[in-house]
Structure 1
Amino acid sequence: MSDVANQTPGWALLYPEPPQSGARRGPHIYPRSDLLTFSILFLFAAIIRIGTMKFSTVLLPLLAAPFAASEHTSNWAVLVSTSRFWFNYRHLANVLSLYRTVKRLGIPDSQIILMLPDDMACNPRNAFPGTVYNNADRALDLYGDNIEVDYRGYEVTVENFIRLMTDRVGEDMPRSKRLMTDERSNILVYMTGHGGNEFLKFQDAEEISAFDLADAFGQMWEKKRYHEILFMIDTCQANTMYSKFYSPNILATGSSEIDQSSYSHHADNDVGVAVIDRYTYYNLEFLENQVKDPTSKLTMGELFDSYDEEKIHSRPGIRYDLFAGGEQEARNRKVMDFFGNVQNVEVESRNETGWIREAGHSSIKLHKSHEQSVANVSSQQPSVENLRREGAWKVDEEQGWNKQAYGVAALIGCASIWLAGSWLESM
């Protein structure tokens, strides 16, 4: 049999041998035929895969053109008040005011982390129990029914804040207390309270330093937890808190320079204390009066240009050097890139090369399997001939190839439907 196998022409191993006239063939093993079928299907799947990726990389970015410049797929907000006690009412109002604004502009509660160290709404000194206001006319209750506080009271600590930002939490931590960001997330970090030169007090009991904050953002960058960060802080000597930042893609702004205080805007005589700070008040004035809806095209540069030292009573600072593209690129960023919400389609074109590399490895494996199958054919010829004599399990060659052709046609049809569905879904 070995001589016969050696004399067999190459085409006989690739295609089934023609049946003898007047005889029906018994069972036969066609390893090369099966290999050919599998190779056709594999190559067809590769073409469909690559075609789909080309479709995605060319057409989907055009459909997502309004968002393509920012290259982020989600927005998150971390809003932190660090002050306890009734006389710090305005710090709670600062955070709740910004909380209402980002919710109005589209960021859902599931992507907002709200940290409130004290419950001013239920303080016995509150003349309006269960409410918090930021204006003397009390037109809007900031502490309404739909507020979701994630960290409350003594949960607001330096340790918990750093663990939140770096995701160093236990598996039992509820999702509502975690910052579930990735390398495609833009994050607004707003902090308010009492501070000094390169420190911010937490609940009048501990401090977070500018170095601590810088290292937390450094860990976030190394762990791919953000795409861009807008850091805003309203405290005395606020600008010193971002002086130690070193991680890329951070745009930072604060209410006052070193040796400057951050002042309150106005007080409510019935409440008995100041109800909002000046820096936060004028940021909110721009956001509420100018940014009407999530389609706004206003830029961060326009927001920064609205700062008036005579109104704020201190000199706000802005740090551009860490941002990719520098000052011009940072100023051109849309306000909605940080204060609003996006739901982008993430195009994974970067995986295309890797997938093709995997296809090459698969081809090598197929070639090795083919060589092994040739050896198996030679060793299995006697048993095949015996089975042929017994006449069990007869297969017609033409029907077999017809079935394979039908299978390929069905696969082409399914792929066409898939491509059409993907195109319609991306519209």
Structure 2
Amino acid sequence: MDFSQFSTILFLTVILTIFAAVSGSRDLPGDYIRLPSQSQASRFFHEPENDDNDQGTRWAILLAGSNGYWNYRHQADVCHAYQLLRKGGLKEENIIVFMYDDIASNVENPRPGVIINKPDGGDVYEGVPKDYTGAEVHADNFYAALLGNKSALTGGSGKVVDSGPNDHIFVYYTDHGGPGVLGMPVGPYLYASDLNEVLKKKHASGSYKSLVFYLEACESGSIFEGLLPEDINIYATTASNAVESSWGTYCPGEYPPPPPEYSTCLGDLYSIAWMEDSDIHNLRTESLHQQYKLVKDRTINGYYGSHVMEYGDVGLSNNHLFLYLGTNPANDQY
């Protein structure tokens, strides 16, 4: 046995002794060492990518799954997300927007042609592309766009995620949901089993390096819990666990309220949390995991609150947000 082998054995012996001492001081069933879960180990051993050396293209799909003025907040969320990505440097051709587009010009809108996402916020509607609107906002078009399958589209701009093996994809969905199901304004609902099969198919095509999915809906944890594999380079966070509601924010009667002329919520709590965090920070230095923790803390401490969850390949959460959202140069010092 050489010296290096002896040193390694000695080190492991010391570590095991420490663990045994710690375990012995607790009321644990039996003598064992508590090991990290697979997901925890994935985060620990996953090396963050070097953003500056990454040659991939950033793609994004933004989807508001509702219509009607009372659902103002969902389209406001998507419009805000679009502005965030554009400021981050993503090209319009690489951002695909699904929204019914019946809010800005709605007779109930107190500011015609304008959509805001927070009480003192500016217009987030201006410049948002009309890729898929009205009757074009349905599950089949969403799946086709994600898979890059232009031939399966019905109507719309024809934009799809035409990604390659080095590319990074960001998907953001906001609407109502229930156990294993998400709303859509047209056609059948979006079901958890179907969505996860599409994600597996996207992975099998070898057409992305990593994919991040942010999901805002009630019972949104049920969309991925026990369904999203941990080995297909997809990391997802959800606004709630599998059995609870998620919540709107900037609502009448709450603090802070919307301007008095608004009779509806301006945003969703989880969505506002991740976007307002992204609006002010340097996303070259903030990781997905750091944002997850910040959003989790803000969302559970809200007026009502929910438990933000994470699924899939949690090791990807070591990556910087820049890989998916870009970053606003104005935030370089933050």
In which range does the TM-score fall when normalised by the shorter chain? 0.7 to 0.9
Structure 1 position 176, deviation (Å): 4.9
Q: Which has the larger radius of gyration?
A: 1
Per the alignment, residue 331 of structure 1 pairs with: 317
- Aligned-residue offset at 1:72: 4.9
Asked if 2 retains the 8 angstrom alpha-carbon contact of 1:167 and 1:179, the reply is: yes
Of Structure 1 and Structure 2, which has the larger fraction of its residues in helix?
Answer: 1
CA separation of 1:169/1:176 partners in 2, compared to 1, >3 Å: closer, same or farther? closer
Per the TM alignment, residue 204 of structure 1 is displaced from its structure 2 partner at its CA by 6.6
| Match runs of 1:27-426 below 5 Å | 66-68=51-53, 71-137=54-120, 139-144=121-126, 146-170=127-151, 176-203=158-185, 205-243=187-225, 244-246=227-229, 248-267=232-251, 268=258, 269-291=260-282, 296-306=284-294, 307-308=296-297, 309-311=300-302, 313-319=305-311, 322-323=312-313, 327=314, 329-340=315-326
Supply the AA of the counterpart residue of 1:257. N
Is the Cα contact below 8 Å between 1:301 and 1:332 reproduced in 2? Answer: yes
Change (3 A) 1:65 1:190: closer
Change (3 A) 1:171 1:92: closer
Compute the displacement of 1:98 (Å). 1.0
Q: Pick which of 90-99 and 243-252 moved more.
A: 243-252
Q: Following superposition, which runs of at least 4 residues in structure 1 exceed 6 angstroms of deviation? A: 171-175
SS at match of 1:260: coil
Matches of 1:110 and 1:119, distance apart in 2: 23
CA distance change for structure 1 residues 195 and 249 in 2, over 3 Å: closer, same or farther? Answer: same
Does the 8 A contact of 2:67 with 2:100 survive in 1?
A: yes
Deviations 1:367-402 (A, max 9, x none): xxxxxxxxxxxxxxxxxxxxxxxxxxxxxxxxxxxx
* Letter in structure 2 aligned against 1:90: R
Please identify, of 122-131 and 263-272, the stretch whose mean Cα deviation from structure 2 is larger: 263-272
Displacement after TM superposition at 1:175 (Å): 7.0
Instruction: Classify 1:65/1:92 alpha carbon distance in 2 versus 1 (closer, same or farther; 3 Å).
Output: closer
- 8 Å contact 1:85–1:118 — kept in the other structure? no
Q: Distance in 2 between matches of 1:92 and 1:65?
A: 33
Measure how far apart 1:166 and its partner are: 1.7
Contact 1:84 1:204 in 2 (8 A): no
Deviation at residue 287 of structure 1 after TM alignment? 0.6
> How far apart, in 2, do the equivalents of 1:149 and 1:289 lie?
27
Instruction: State the Cα distance separating 1:297 from its structure 2 match.
Output: 1.4
Task: Tell me if structure 2 keeps the 8 A contact 1:83–1:118.
Answer: no
- Secondary structure in 2 matching 1:148: coil
Q: d(CA) in 1 for partners of 2:50 and 2:272?
A: 33
Q: Which amino acid aligns with 1:263?
A: W
Deviations 1:316-343 (A, max 9, x none): 0012xx42xxx4x4232101011118xx
Secondary structure at the residue paired with 1:110? Answer: helix
Shift, 1:163, TM fit: 1.3
Q: Quick check: 1:238–1:255 contact (8 Å CA) kept in 2?
A: yes
Q: Offset at 1:67?
A: 3.1
Q: Secondary structure of 2:249's match? A: strand
Report the Cα offset of residue 124 of structure 1.
1.2
Gaps of 5+ in 2: 1-48, 252-257, 328-334
What is the letter of the counterpart of residue 140 of structure 2? Answer: E
Structure 1 residue 277: Cα displacement: 0.6
Letter in 1 for 2:271: T
Write the letter of the residue equivalent to 2:183: K
Judged with a 3 Å threshold, the aligned counterparts in structure 2 of structure 1 residues 65 and 303 are, in CA distance, closer, same or farther, namely: closer
Listed as ranges, the gaps of 5+ residues in structure 1 are 1-63, 342-427
Letter in 2 for 1:303: Q
Look up the SS of the partner of 2:151 in the other structure.
Answer: coil
